[in-house]
Amino acid sequence: MENRDDIIANLLLRWEESFEHGDDVPAKELCQAHPELFDEVQSKIEDLKKMSWMTRDDDLGVEQPDELLSQTLGDRYRIESLIAAGGFGKVYRAFDPELERHVAVKVPHRQESNGQVDALVEEARRVAKLRHPGIVSVHDVGREDGTYFIVSELIDGKNLSEVIADQRPSVKGAVLLVANIAENLEAAHKAGFVHRDIKPANILIDENGKPLITDFGIASTHLDEETATKGTLPYMAPEQIANEKQLIDHRADIYSLGVVLYELLTGESPYSARTPGTLREQILFRSPKPIPDSVLSAVQEVCLKSLSKHPADRFNSADEFASALRHSLTTFPTKNSKRYKWFALFVTGVLMAAGGFLAGQFFDDEDHSVVQNAFEGGITFDGTRRIVTPIMNTDAPLTIEVWVAPSTNDNSESQFVVGSDVPGHYGMGLGMGANGHPMVEIIRSGLDATRYRLPTNRWSHLAAVFSFDETRLYLDGKLIGTCLPTAKAEVESPFVVGNLGFDHGKMCFLGKLRSVRITSGERFNEEFLPDENLSIGDNSESLLIYDESSFGSKQIEDLSGNGNHGNWDSVVVIE
């Protein structure tokens, strides 16, 4: 037996399909078999009529003379060319002679009443106060012949729709891109804005690959009957479609961004629908299509959580969404995952085939733990051994980066992944402070990023840039803190991997290390996408690179080509 919600959904679907063909079926006729549902169905139909603009096809394919080309808006902005056109309006490239710069000017198709124009201009002025490097800035708003226009920063690049059409990014690229967008969105949310129309066309990618959110034209610091239902149907949250005004807040943007992520991961929409009415019904009541198994299960879980029907089941903030995305890339496969099972079967087959030979190698070799841990992925540091490198605590600029997975983040003392500390003199190092906070040590000072915590049993990318002007600390490519520049080393000391320094037997790292790279100069000047494999890419300035393939013997092979091989060394406690 159908429940109440399913009956209403089917009735509304019948109404929408008829309405699309020009037939407005009365609610009384629809509800002949269910008269008790009349009031609710009638109310829903009225809401749908308010949203009918979403299903109209604007006749933009017919070429007509554009009266605004070569005109000047607001006695200031000289319209040069059409950049794009959509259901809401047109965006032009224009020149501002007062500030001698090019700008983007958006003009809506729809002509509003004077009162509506006043309200829209006032709202645009509020949006213009929103300043963030990941949000396209609104410079000015004005009116011309009964309508209004918005002047914003002109971004040289493409929107995300065009990028996807050219080539979809990898899973990792998609996850990190959406994480950056979510962090940009958080800035707007904290300022009191909800975008309500997050979609690929409203995400610009500049020439450096940096994403920026644009088109806050329907964003608002308040809701009314009209703005509550604005948006683009495939990306609208269920509460927007249902016009549940009391539920619409920043989490609607999280849902929309989740749809963008789904499309980046799969190349498809979460729902298969041929008509707007069917799509609306699926968004409200159906589950998204399964995400292919080729996508990490942790990434799938984050994506599907963002697409939860009820706002309370999604992430509480865009920052929380971004953090979950970054960590999803570093989660170890679980024993229930298909990847783990495939790998386990593979390993079992190899061991059975190799039999006694492998057993002898693992259990008779003095360094069997090194080989076995490298075979499992990464190398385990348990506080008893470390790697001594020939690289000395040289002057800045210098960059250290590591892929690590701590076994605990409840540590009472600091743990150094890479260190060069000299007792009584300090050094340069990178690791975790007490309670798992990312930390960087410089000569005579340091930084403990207490707002962040390294997760256990997940790969995290940690990096420190020691420059002439400052020291920067990064977690998974995100800048999380800065401090003073390091002073010149008073005593030369080698970098060691696994504890505080060569003449120390304390503050040892406990967990797994996958790779380490030390580079001369400032490798990172802004936020970045960490290299999954540190031995790939531009390593012309690299001094030392160790990764999983380096850990198979007593000598640790330097993959940079500089011959800076490391050696295993027992940790001796020196008081």
550: Cα separation from own chain's centroid: 31
Query: Phi and psi of 189, rounded to 5°?
Result: -60, -40
Given 47, 58, 197, 503, the catalytic residue: 197
DSSP labels for 449-491? -TT--PPTTB-EEEEEEE-SS-EEEEETTEEEEEEPPPPPPSS
**197 tagged catalytic:** yes
Amino acid of residue 498: G
Q: Provide the pLDDT for residue 333.
A: 52
DSSP labels for 63-100? ----TTTT-EETTTEEEEEEEEE-SSEEEEEEEETTTT
Of 374, 379, 381, which Cα lies nearest the Cα of 432? 381
Strands (E), 154-275: 157-159, 203-206, 211-213
Report the distance separating Cα 372 and Cα 367, nearest Å. 9
Residue in this structure with the two tokens 């690959």, named with its chain if needed: 209
Q: Provide the pLDDT for residue 357.
A: 35
Longest dimension (CA), the chain: 90
Strands (E), 476-572: 478-483, 494-497, 511-520, 542-546, 555-556, 566-570
Token digits of residue 539: 């390593």
Taking the C-alpha atoms of 175, 177, 178 and 183 in order, what is their torsion angle to the nearest 10 degrees? Answer: 120
CATH number, domain 162-328, options 3.30.70.20, 2.102.10.10, 1.10.510.10, 3.20.20.70 = 1.10.510.10
Report the predicted TM-score, pTM, of the whole model to 2 decimal places: 0.53
The β-bridge partners of 554 are none
Q: Based on the number of CB atoms within 10 Å of its own CB, is 512 exposed (0-12), middle (13-18) or buried (19 or more)?
A: buried
Sign of the dihedral through C-alpha 409, 412, 417, 418: positive
pLDDT in tens, 538-558: 788 899 999 877 776 678 999
Report the distance separating Cα 19 and Cα 517, nearest Å. 62
Token digits of residue 181: 């967008």
> 374-570, which class in CATH?
mainly beta
C-alpha triplet 31, 32, 35: angle, nearest 5°: 60
Do 464 and 412 meet the contact criterion of CB atoms below 8 Å apart? Answer: no
pLDDT in tens, 205-260: 988 788 999 877 544 544 444 545 567 888 999 999 888 888 889 999 999 999 99
CATH code of the domain occupying 73-153 = 3.30.200.20
Report the distance separating Cα 372 and Cα 491, nearest Å. 37
- What's the average pLDDT block by block, 10 residues per block, for the chain (575 residues)? 69 70 72 85 75 44 65 89 74 91 83 62 73 85 78 88 83 92 92 89 86 71 50 88 87 96 92 81 90 91 95 94 90 49 45 40 32 52 87 83 86 84 78 87 80 83 91 90 82 86 78 92 88 81 87 82 89 50
